[in-house]
Amino acid sequence: MPLGTLDRSPPPFFRQGPSALSRLLFFASLSVLLMAADSRVGLTTPLRTAAAILLNPIERALLVPVRGAGSVGDYLSGIAQAHQTTERARAELTRQAERSLQADQLLQENARLRALLELRTRLSVRTRAAEVLYDAPDPYTRKIIIDRGSSQGVQHGSPVINELGVLGQVTRVYPMTAEVTLVIDENAAIPVHNIRTGLRGVAFGDPSVDSMELRFVAANADVQVGDILQTSGLDGVYPPGMPVAKVSRLDRRTQSDFAKIALTPATKPDSVRHVLVLEPMGTQQPPKPTPADAALPVHGKDSPAAKPAAKAVRKDKE
């Protein structure tokens, strides 16, 4: 092969273009030119707009996993926050319910105390307010314990009432407390009279059914269901005119000569909280005459006051 036909150019691997310094200067100058043209003329604005339009779907597709992870985190945190809010709401609802119950109890207690105060102003006897502590431990009796005793002036036999009527009578007195036998106890007995007819009788307690019974009333007596019975005041303990019970059932078809009359107490012993302890009426009545005073004649010619007059008449006759 003749030597003139050989290609003497170096292979592509060993070819050298412009030098590195030349290329640096070229691209640096081009960058400065483009920046100047972009700031002055806005040459690259269409290119940026086109690139933004073309790359927008790709950006959205790449952001889907990120947004999904964020949504899952927000969902989980929202559930946890919802549970916490629910627990706080339940706790607040419980507190509000407790406050509502306390408010209802205070309203009822306020109404009872107002009724007791109004009743206290109407009574002419001395009264003492007391609060029921608990029921007596004896299961065979119906008694309660109040927080007033002999230190506060409570006497044995004092009647106990509330705004509805007669509740019972003090049967035991301690220094700081007292025991009250309720009207529904089997040993309780109260003289009463019928408001409608004026018929007097005695109401006894019936603890088996938490009611009372009007005993020793003739079968043909004028008694009707719904009659109101009040204290007669004949026992010297209860003031007259206090509500005691109402006739709830009447049975005249008995084998005895007396009617069987069931009574509903005016008060509800199980729901009583505040009461009034009255001074017994016997302490306000004049003392009873002694047998010696009863033996002395009061009127007539044998009375001490008539003897001087008789002597004066005899002297005139002489």
Residue 135: CATH number of its domain: 2.40.10.340
Region 99-108: what's the mean pLDDT? 70
Residues 222, 224, 227: CA angle, nearest 5 degrees: 105
Which tens digits make up the pLDDT trace of 189-210? 999 999 999 899 999 998 878 8
Contact 246, 226 (CB under 8 A): yes
Determine the structural domain holding residue 173 and report its residue range.
127-283
| List of residues 6+ apart from 30 with CB closer than 8 A | none
How many structural domains is the chain composed of?
1
Tell the residue number behind the tokens 């790709």, with chain if given. 58
Give CA separation, 79 vs 84, 285, 300, in Å. 9, 78, 105
Would you say residue 38 has pLDDT above 90?
Answer: no
In a domain, 279, yes or no: yes
Which tens digits make up the pLDDT trace of 41-66? 777 777 777 887 888 888 788 878 87
Tell the residue number behind the tokens 């019972």, with chain if given. 168
Q: Residue-wise over 141-174: b if at least 16 C-beta within 10 A, else e?
A: bbbbbbebbeebebeeebbbbbbbbbbbbbbebe
pLDDT score of 311? 47
In a domain, 13, yes or no: no
In a domain, 19, yes or no: no
Number of H helices, E strands in the chain: 4, 12
Contact 166, 238 (CB under 8 A): yes
SS (H, E, C) 116-153: HHHHHHHCCCCEEEEEEEEECCCCCCCEEEECCCHHHC
Region 220-232: what's the mean pLDDT? 91
Q: Which helix (H) or strand (E) holds 231?
A: strand 228-231
pLDDT score of 284? 61
Give CA separation, 157 vs 27, 143, 174, 188, 254, in Å. 121, 14, 13, 12, 35
Would you say residue 310 has pLDDT above 50?
Answer: no
In a domain, 86, yes or no: no
- How many residues comprise the chain? 318
Q: How far apart are CA 270 and CA 112, in angstroms?
A: 14
Q: Which helix (H) or strand (E) holds 105?
A: helix 45-122
pLDDT score of 283? 67
In a domain, 163, yes or no: yes
Q: Helix or strand or coil: residue 214?
A: strand
In a domain, 79, yes or no: no
In a domain, 43, yes or no: no
Residue 255: strand pairing partners: none
Q: Is the pLDDT higher at 277 or at 122?
A: 277
* Range from 4-13, 69-78, 130-139, 295-304 carrying the lowest mean pLDDT: 295-304
Q: How far apart are CA 236 and CA 232, in angstroms?
A: 9
In a domain, 67, yes or no: no
